[in-house]
Structure 1
């Protein structure tokens, strides 16, 4: 059926030098190690492919001293997808690690929350703390795509395709959106940075990079409602995803739609 989708997570980077202080505002063991993985996602129903987020490339990796394991566009090629042939991309938000390779997708239409575009180009970017996760070149590239007619803006909830929805969550970034996908296992929620780790939403612990703590806390409950069960909530950066989902189709590709093991 056209509204049932396969979902894959493609890991392109990790950071193993982090601690729990980098992941949780309230925690009793802030010095303990807490690694992070970086993913993009691919949805397919056999006839149609949708890429969720574009990751960041080697240039951005060098600027931020955050090396990548593989170029996200190259990772897509292992699925038989060329970035310059991708027709649809959902951007969960415009932070550097989710929208850092926009130029590699010249023929795509991008789905973005209106609130995110306003946030990334508005007065909040005068504050270095709020500006830090964004890269000006990426934002300017998105503005160019707006002017070329390649952006579809959503306000709150919207449908991208039958069985694929976006829902504005906010919290971590003003226009952060989660992606709800209908699969053979039920409704799956790609939370992206609405919950970086399982522990964020399971224990309702806010992540330190936050615009609105109330929105973030409400978002933890929203992503749980969007999924058929908690096992189908997929955090944006948790290495546990690669352990809970047993189907690895390549060393960096995990099948998610069949549910956790």
Structure 2
């Protein structure tokens, strides 16, 4: 079968952050360290798979983290209507990755069983672990489950020819990355298995973590799955927009062609 096109779609950003918010340990800890928010689109001919959904205006208002583009508007340059999205890979259920599930009512969700158990289980008794989740988003996932529109995985699984998911945990119990066959080789959408290039390349953990060993082991998994470190795409790094060409609109960057310069430099 042919290779997939892969696009990073930026819908929000947050600039009021410092390095201590991103790395443990953090040298120069109080230096500014902005964050981008992405969703991703896989496309092969008429086949479309959305990876994560972003969050909407209401969630942004509630968290005082406004978005630049509504997720539906962010997809508009592709000519994709929300009702036409048939499959959404949910890397994990944090608000910024699953806050738009309700916007894609006809989609089957592809989720690690460990993530649903984590987001609905005893760990949510602890506010620091609960903070990145929003109850309405979890309820939407449960409603989709009872409608027969959730497929659960336990570890590694194939979603489609050339698309696999791999549970890495660490940041959450059921965090999964996505491996995609592209013209440049096997590309890995790390999502929050590596928020920034520096997390995986310098082996610096991100501060929001439920299992530190799993997070560190996950860095090795990302390297193993990708054809090269050049094809590991972190979940929140503004550098993604520098390394990969913009297409269709300023907020969309094409990943399957490979970076335009060395990401490890």
The answer to whether the 8 Å contact 1:5/1:184 transfers is yes
The answer to whether the 8 Å contact 1:92/1:112 transfers is yes
Tell me the alpha carbon deviations over residues 169-190 of structure 1, each in whole angstroms, 9 at most, x when there is no partner: 0000100000000001100000
Aligned residue number for residue 39 of structure 1: 38
Question: Quick one: distance in 1 between partners of 2:131 and 2:83?
Answer: 28
Q: How many equivalent residue pairs?
A: 260
| Offset, 1:247 | 3.8
1:235 aligns with 2:247: no
TM-score (norm 1): 0.98
1:64 aligns with 2:67: no
Aligned residue number for residue 263 of structure 2: none
Aligned residue number for residue 192 of structure 1: 191
Secondary structure of 2:141 counterpart: helix
Structure 1: tracts of 5 or more residues without a match: none
| Offset, 1:248 | 3.2
Secondary structure of 1:141 counterpart: helix
Aligned residue number for residue 255 of structure 2: 256
Aligned residue number for residue 26 of structure 2: 27
Aligned residue number for residue 218 of structure 1: 217
Structure 2: tracts of 5 or more residues without a match: 261-265
| Offset, 1:192 | 0.2
Q: Which runs of 4+ in 1 moved over 6 A?
A: none
The answer to whether the 8 Å contact 1:88/1:110 transfers is yes
CA RMSD of aligned residues (A): 0.7
1:107 aligns with 2:103: no
TM-score (norm 2): 0.97
